[in-house]
Structure formats: structure tokens, C-alpha cells
């Protein structure tokens, strides 16, 4: 056992028996690096990451590679879900260095924690233009031994460049602000896949903040642009729901699709995807009243409440991409893929024919070879709806009945590993999804689940004496202090709860959290929020997150929260705070507005508030136009 055996993180525990002498992030490892004057190898990932597993099996479980690491480096493992601040800093460095990022993240640091080289996944030997991990280690060991001053100078320069990025002068948005909305819309429109939905080609990552922006844009504009914005979202959601990225038997969505047609996903399921995508499908249903969207909403939430909810009411973080197949081999997607023979053995001939036709299954398997580089799906099928118009006449009740039988059979398989860590930020996103769905369908079931999750956070991840949140909880342990996204997302969820139920304790808690968020993270000079609080001696730099990626940025949600406080509490400084956040990101908004679609929604909302007054009584507000006021 190395130094990870007692870690609270499920991800770190996965590596506790590696021959690599791993340390958790902390002073013990840093002190040893300083004492022995060795560089640090920092490996960042998460417990349900497929390529993290691949590199672990190929390299970190290999005795010879472990010996190279143990002899020349101090090796540190970080769970990016526990320490997003550490991940954010070194991911920014690797993206600046290589032009891309991802997990596993591999970074080499000086004993003073400054990065001098990095990348993502490295294979165990040099293949297809990728340098092998042992070769990288040997070259870096030699460089450190022979040219250490040069590496340290490069590390200092890298940190200076990162610091310059965070110290940009605050500027005000110039020109007509509506032009930014139009510009973002046109960029998304130009990159839209007209045939298969989504934006760009393979791989395709669902980015819910883009859906929310386009639906907001459609709602506030007229004519062809409005209709196209709406159609791009609806078409993409329909294609995703039909594709293999959607779990047709158990509900929920996988992280992303490796191919253009949404057929072959990386199979991990993340809580934040379930929360945001259920909201996207909810908005699609509210817009169209089509059950094809509401059915997806209910299936996603059923999956979360069935498989991803703790007995105490908190929501687990994720399920793995990999699982054990029938031969006892760990493979990606083994839990979800089917052979035609299995289908026929479990269903009647009529049902098997129906399912095989409806989901495009075949004896040879339906996964294209180019989407299966490791031959995990030879002879296997991933369910993807056959969209032949002739099949619309198929009896959906019979399809559902056959699916139910397959679901019960699948439950007997070896399940993927579940990361049962409970995170404040992701739970908060799920609270919002449950509340808004509960209100839309008048479902006390969903509202009760939202209340239970909020209560769990209040009891296990909140210190009423200090007013501070913790970031995550696992088996009674709660280590890392909360980050800006924990506060922003939870404030949003509590405001949703309050506005939906009129239960004022949620609103009072949201106000307290907003005050604490301002105290801990607000950059008074720069106007936006840092991702982490001050005072961590081992974090070389506090970053600010702007990008609305797989999750929205804390700043985008904070801007929307402040605008809501401005409506609920007219004496608050909500509008001023929101404007300051938007101005802090003015350069990014003007240079690449599509990077911040959720903040564009906040900008649009702020502009709309200029023509609206809110008359409030006991915290309940009604809109009154400026003219009638």
C-alpha cells in the first residue's frame, strides 16, 4: 500500500495498491520533494474516467514504470472532483502548453509546485506519434539533472503568463450588447450539424448551457433566427435521445459520443449531465408539449432517484464507463452492450425481432470499427433508435415491455463502479432540476427529493457557525472547503426551492450564502469571483472560471443569482454585482462569446430588467413595466 490507503476520495483509493509511491496532495509530499530536490509528477483524474483507468493499468500498475517514477520523482494523485482548484490551475497550464486538455492530466512540477511540462494520457510505449510514458520520464529526469535551471526558468515564466491572464484590466462592454447575442447565435448556427444535430463533428459533447442560451435567444427574438435557434436545440435533443449516448433501458445520459451520430459514447454517467440535460428536455417539452421530451425527463430523474441517491437523500457523483464483461474482463461499456444472441435468449421471437429492428441491432454488432479502437464491441450492439419513418407505426407498449425485460436482465450483470462521493455543486444542480420539473408537472415526489438533498447539504456540508460550505462528503468525511461553484449553484437551487414552494428558510439561507460567497471569493477590484478562497499556501494562484463548459461557470450562475436577488430584494446591489461580473468578462464576451453562453443569458436578463420594475410584498414580486409604473 502507498500513501493513498486512508484517502477519502474513491479515486485515490483506486490507486492505493499501485506500485507507484503515490502521495495525496499536501505538505507531506511537498516537503519530501523539497528535501530530496526531486521534481513532482502530478496525476489528476477522477474515479469514473475511462482513460484514467487505461493509463493506470498500462503504466501505474507496471513495476518497471513505477520504479522510474519512484526513483526520480515524487508522485502525487489528485481527484479533480475533490480539488477542482488544483485541477483548474494545472489544466490551464497544459492547455496553454499543448492546445488541448483532458483527463488523466499529467503535469511535472518543481518542488515549489511550478509546472515545467505536461500533457494528458501517455501510452506505455511510443506508438502512432505519441511518445511513450517511460521515454517521457527518462527525458525529464535527464533534463532535471542536467538542465534544471532552464526548467525552473520555464516554470517561472509559465506562472507569470498564467498570472497575467488573471490580471486583465476590467473593461466595459462596448457597442450594442445585443450584437453579442446575435454574434454567438450565428457562430452556433454556422457550426450546427444539419444532418445529425449538435455543434461541430466528432467527438460530440453535450453542452447544456448552449441549449439554454439558444432557447433564451429564441424566446427573446422573432423571425427566422428565433425559429432556427429553437429548431437547432430541439433537433439535437431528439438526436441525442435516439442515440447510444442515451441509456434506453435504464435512463440517463453518458458523458459524450465519440462519433458524429451520437451512437458510441464514453459510457461514464455524470450527475451534472443528468441535472442539466433533464432541464434542457424539460424546456423542450414546455416549448412543444411533445411527450418525446417529457418522457426523457422522467426517465433521467427516475434513474437518478433509483441508482444515484443515497439513503440520506444526497446524490452520488458518477458511474464508471468500465465494467466486467461475461468473461471477467474489465471493458468499457460492458454493462450496456448486447449481442443479438443475448437478446434472443431473453425475449420471445416477436419481441426479439421488434427490439432488433427498432434499435438497429445485428448479429455482427452495430458499432463501426473506427469507433471501437480497442475491439471492446466486436459482435456487440449499442441501442440506437431506428428513425425509419415506417417504424413510427410500431406498438410502443410492446417496445416498452421488451425493454423492461432486458432492464431486469441487465441488473444481474456486474455493475459499473459508482463514485458515491456527494458533492455540493453537483447536488445543487440536481436540486434545481428536480424543483423545476416538480413545478412543471405538479409532482410532490420531485419536490420532496429536492428538499431532502438540500437538507442533506445543510446537515453534512454546511457549518452554521462559520457560514461556510464544504465541497464534498464521503462516508462521513468532508475535507475540502467549498469553492465558488458550490456557493453559486446551491444559491441557485435554494432560490428555485423558495420561488417554487414559498418556504422562506430556503431564501434566508440563500441570502446568507450569497454574503459568505462575496466574503470568500469576490474580487472587489476585478468584479468577478475567484474559484477558490484565499489562504491556501499550496495553491500558487487563484483562478477565475469564465468558460461555460460541461458545467456552467460559477460566475455565470452568480450573475443570474444576483439578478434574481435584484427582483426579490429591490434594495440589494444585485444588478450592480451582475454588471460587474459581466464587465469582468467583457474581453472574452467580445472575443469569443460562444465560450460564455450562460453569461450571455445573464447579459440578456440584465438588459431586460432595465425596462421592468418589480413590485414586491413579503418577498413575492410581480413585474410592472416602466411605462405603467
CATH classification of the domain holding 101: 3.40.30.10
Per DSSP bridges, beta strands 418-419 and 318-319 are antiparallel
pLDDT digits (tens, 9 = 90+) for 206-219: 999 999 999 999 99
Element at 463 (helix H, strand E): strand 462-463
8 A C-beta contact, residue 246 and residue 240: yes
Chosen domain end from 384, 412, 440: 412
Residue 287 in any domain: the answer is: no
Please, which pLDDT band fits residue 168 given cuts at 50, 70 and 90?
A: low
- 506, 430, 516: which is closest to 252 by C-alpha? 430
Residue 36 in any domain: the answer is: yes
Q: CA 60 to CA 66: how far, in whole Å? A: 6
* Residues shown for the chain: 629
Residue 252 in any domain: the answer is: no
Can you read off the three cell numbers belonging to residue 544?
Answer: 477565475
Q: Is a pLDDT exceeding 80 seen at residue 167? A: no
Residue 108 in any domain: the answer is: yes
The larger pLDDT score, comparing residue 445 to residue 178, is at 445
8 A C-beta contact, residue 89 and residue 540: yes
Chosen domain end from 412, 434, 463: 412
Q: CA 542 to CA 323: how far, in whole Å? A: 37
Residue 121 in any domain: the answer is: yes
Chosen domain end from 387, 412, 437: 412
Residue 177 in any domain: the answer is: no
- The mean predicted confidence, pLDDT, of the chain is 93
Please, which pLDDT band fits residue 493 given cuts at 50, 70 and 90?
A: very high
Instruction: Calculate mean pLDDT across residues 45-73.
Output: 96
In percent, how much of the chain has pLDDT > 90? Answer: 86
| 285 CB-near residues (< 8 Å, 6+ apart) | 291, 293, 294, 297, 440
Can you read off the three cell numbers belonging to residue 531?
Answer: 474559484
Please, which pLDDT band fits residue 228 given cuts at 50, 70 and 90?
A: very high
Rounded to two decimals, the pTM is: 0.94
Based on the number of CB atoms within 10 Å of its own CB, is 126 exposed (0-12), middle (13-18) or buried (19 or more)?
middle
Give the Cβ contact number of residue 64 at 10 Å. Answer: 10
Domain boundaries, position 62: 10-166
pLDDT digits (tens, 9 = 90+) for 244-270: 999 999 999 999 999 999 999 999 999
Q: Tell me what pLDDT residue 90 has.
A: 97
- 152, 3, 141: which is closest to 73 by C-alpha? 141
Q: Tell me what pLDDT residue 189 has.
A: 98
Q: Tell me what pLDDT residue 35 has.
A: 98
Q: Tell me what pLDDT residue 311 has.
A: 97
Q: Indicate the number of domains in the chain.
A: 2
Q: Tell me what pLDDT residue 612 has.
A: 53
| 68 CB-near residues (< 8 Å, 6+ apart) | 134, 137, 138, 141
Amino acid at each position: 500500500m502507498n500513501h493513498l490507503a486512508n484517502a477519502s476520495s474513491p479515486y485515490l483509493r483506486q490507486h492505493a495498491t499501485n506500485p507507484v509511491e503515490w502521495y495525496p496532495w499536501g505538505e507531506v509530499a511537498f516537503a519530501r520533494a523539497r528535501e530530496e530536490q526531486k521534481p513532482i509528477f502530478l496525476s489528476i483524474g477522477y474515479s469514473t474516467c475511462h482513460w484514467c483507468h487505461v493509463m493506470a493499468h498500462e503504466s501505474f500498475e507496471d513495476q518497471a514504470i513505477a520504479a522510474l517514477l519512484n526513483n526520480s520523482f515524487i508522485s502525487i494523485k489528485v481527484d479533480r472532483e475533490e480539488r477542482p482548484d488544483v485541477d483548474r490551475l494545472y489544466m490551464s497550464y497544459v492547455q496553454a502548453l499543448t492546445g488541448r486538455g483532458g483527463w488523466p492530466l499529467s503535469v511535472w512540477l518543481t518542488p515549489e509546485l511550478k509546472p515545467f511540462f505536461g500533457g494528458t494520457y501517455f501510452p506505455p510505449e511510443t506508438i502512432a506519434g505519441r511518445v511513450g510514458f517511460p521515454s517521457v520520464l527518462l527525458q525529464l529526469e535527464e533534463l532535471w539533472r542536467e538542465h534544471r535551471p532552464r526548467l525552473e526558468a520555464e516554470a517561472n515564466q509559465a506562472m507569470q503568463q498564467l498570472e497575467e491572464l488573471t490580471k486583465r484590466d476590467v473593461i466595459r462592454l462596448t457597442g450594442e450588447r445585443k450584437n453579442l447575442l446575435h454574434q454567438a447565435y450565428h457562430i452556433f448556427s454556422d457550426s450546427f450539424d444539419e444532418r445529425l444535430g449538435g455543434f461541430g463533428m466528432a467527438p460530440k459533447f453535450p453542452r447544456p448551457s448552449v441549449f439554454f442560451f439558444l432557447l433564451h435567444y429564441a424566446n427573446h427574438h422573432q423571425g427566422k433566427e428565433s425559429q432556427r435557434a429553437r429548431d437547432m436545440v430541439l433537433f439535437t435533443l431528439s438526436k441525442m435521445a435516439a442515440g447510444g449516448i442515451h441509456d434506453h433501458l435504464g435512463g440517463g445520459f453518458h458523458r459524450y459520443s465519440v462519433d458524429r451520430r451520437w451512437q458510441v459514447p464514453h459510457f461514464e454517467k455524470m450527475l451534472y449531465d443528468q441535472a442539466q440535460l433533464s432541464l434542457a428536455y424539460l424546456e423542450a417539452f414546455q416549448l412543444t408539449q411533445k411527450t418525446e421530451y417529457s418522457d426523457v425527463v422522467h426517465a433521467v430523474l427516475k434513474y437518478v432517484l433509483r441508482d444515484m441517491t443515497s439513503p440520506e437523500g444526497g446524490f452520488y457523483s458518477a458511474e464508471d464507463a468500465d465494467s466486467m464483461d461475461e468473461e471477467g474482463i474489465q471493458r468499457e461499456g460492458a454493462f450496456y452492450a448486447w449481442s443479438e444472441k443475448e437478446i434472443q435468449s431473453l425475449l420471445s421471437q416477436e419481441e426479439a425481432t421488434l427490439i432488433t429492428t427498432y434499435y438497429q441491432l445485428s448479429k455482427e454488432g452495430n458499432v463501426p470499427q473506427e469507433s471501437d479502437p480497442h475491439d471492446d464491441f466486436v459482435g456487440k450492439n449499442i441501442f440506437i433508435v431506428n428513425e425509419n419513418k415506417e417504424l413510427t407505426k410500431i406498438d410502443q407498449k410492446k417496445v416498452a415491455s421488451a425493454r423492461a425485460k432486458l432492464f431486469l436482465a441487465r441488473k444481474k450483470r456486474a455493475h459499473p463502479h459508482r463514485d458515491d462521493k456527494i458533492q455540493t455543486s453537483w447536488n445543487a444542480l440536481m436540486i434545481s432540476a428536480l424543483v423545476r420539473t416538480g413545478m412543471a408537472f405538479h409532482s410532490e415526489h420531485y419536490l420532496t427529493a429536492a428538499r431532502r438533498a438540500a437538507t442533506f447539504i445543510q446537515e453534512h456540508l454546511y457549518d452554521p457557525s462559520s457560514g461556510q460550505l464544504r465541497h464534498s462528503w464521503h462516508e462521513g468525511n468532508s475535507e475540502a472547503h467549498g469553492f465558488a461553484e458550490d456557493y453559486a449553484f446551491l444559491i441557485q437551487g435554494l432560490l428555485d426551492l423558495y420561488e417554487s414552494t414559498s418556504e422562506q428558510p430556503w431564501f434566508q439561507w440563500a441570502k446568507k450564502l450569497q454574503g459568505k460567497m462575496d466574503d470568500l471569493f469576490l474580487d472587489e477590484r476585478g468584479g468577478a469571483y475567484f474559484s477558490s478562497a484565499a489562504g491556501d499556501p499550496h495553491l500558487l494562484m487563484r483562478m477565475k472560471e469564465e468558460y461555460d463548459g460541461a458545467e456552467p461557470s460559477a460566475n455565470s450562475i452568480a450573475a443570474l443569482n444576483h439578478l434574481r436577488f435584484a427582483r426579490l430584494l429591490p434594495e440589494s446591489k444585485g444588478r450592480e454585482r451582475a454588471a460587474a461580473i459581466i464587465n469582468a468578462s467583457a474581453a472574452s464576451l467580445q472575443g469569443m462569446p460562444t465560450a460564455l453562453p450562460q453569461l450571455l443569458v445573464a447579459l440578456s436578463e440584465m438588459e431586460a430588467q432595465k425596462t421592468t420594475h418589480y413590485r414586491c410584498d413579503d418577498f413575492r414580486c410581480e413585474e410592472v413595466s416602466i411605462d405603467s409604473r
